Amino acid sequence: MQRVVLHMDMDYFYAAIEERENPKLRGKAVVVCMLSGRNELSGSVSTCNYVAREFGIRSGMPCSRAKKLNPEAVFLPVRKEFYTSVSDRIMEILRSYADPGENGDSFEQISVDEAFLEISERTGGDFNLAFEIGMQIKREIKEKENLTCSVGIGPNKLIAKMASSAKKPDGMTVVNPQDLEAFLWPLKVSKLWGIGDVTARRLQEMGIFTVKDLAEHDVIGLISTFGKSRGTWLKQAAAGIDDSPLKERGGSEQIGRIATLPEDTLDKELISSLLERLAGDVIEKLDSRELSFRIVTVTVINSNFRMYTRSRTLTHPVSSKEVLLRVAREILGEFLSENRTEFRRVGVRVGGLQKSKGQKSLFDY
């Protein structure tokens, strides 16, 4: 069966979430910064939207330089916990489309905003069906999270990853096995996934400027310059060959849900009602994967868009909705006793996940 791999990459993820949370930001240059705290703009740009990029602002740039490039831009601090909660929900959507797989070999999250899916079995190796699955994923993420993503589909991870970058934002690119040369060879060699600046410069010194140049270069020359392993990989990558498997990320996975309240409020009953629905969704996801949890995290965002997060770690893993809801409501009560600004959104997340070994009761808890 022909292998089919899908790569999903969210579009300017952090800045897109900020635009979604505060629609007044749309149309403006939005820059999300990892601040050091020394002064107002000491730190570097984590990400920015496409409006900001038109001014030359880029990730990794000092925030002070970004400010000089566009003094009118909106600068916001990174809200990592909140972005992670959004990421967790998106990753659950993606996981539902992956092949059943065993030992975590059909889903691989590689960052907070991108992941690979093995969809060979679901598609039967049919790239037309893979395109339909990619469109379904894009629609579901848009409907549930009001965010866009770019999707690439290819016969392996290398091609899928590069295809997702071909049409951004909100793009979709499918590269069939017979189209590998047409897709790869015109590209600059620096665009080949896995080639950094140092390697690109050394290749250019050898007269290799495009992927086609690399594909046609003598492998012995590549090995003599880069070593056997790296030289062989360069030759294979230029031909679109990549046999690397997908690997499930371990240890840090979480599952969560967050939603907007019907109105900004401090009404405990209204907030608790939404919290119960979200807890039910989280438990449903856990049950479908036979997982239990040890960490409960509640997040609230108030009407001023300030986020507060608090967690509890249980003495042992559980998989009970009653326990999850009880702990979440305890944390909510603490938030309500400390805050006077109405809440806009509320979320619940679980971590410390592991395979269930039987249901724990409230008495055990």
Strand ranges across the sheet with 5-10: 107-111, 114-118, 5-10, 149-154, 172-174
- Whole-angstrom distance, CA of residue 22 vs CA of residue 264: 14
Instruction: Convert 35-44 to b/e letters by CB count within 10 Å (16 or more is b).
Output: beeeeebebb
Cα torsion 268, 273, 279, 284 to 10°: value is 180
- Whole-angstrom distance, CA of residue 140 vs CA of residue 321: 26
- Whole-angstrom distance, CA of residue 329 vs CA of residue 275: 8
- Whole-angstrom distance, CA of residue 348 vs CA of residue 300: 9
Residue type at position 295: I
**DSSP structural state of residue 151:** E
- Whole-angstrom distance, CA of residue 18 vs CA of residue 26: 9
Does 92 participate in catalysis according to the annotation?
A: no
The secondary structure of 28-67 as a DSSP string is: S-EEEEEE-SSSTT-EEEEEE-HHHHTTT--TTSBHHHHH
Output the six-digit token pair for 148: 């866009």
Which of 18, 19, 21, 114 is an active site residue?
A: 114
Catalytic site residues? 114
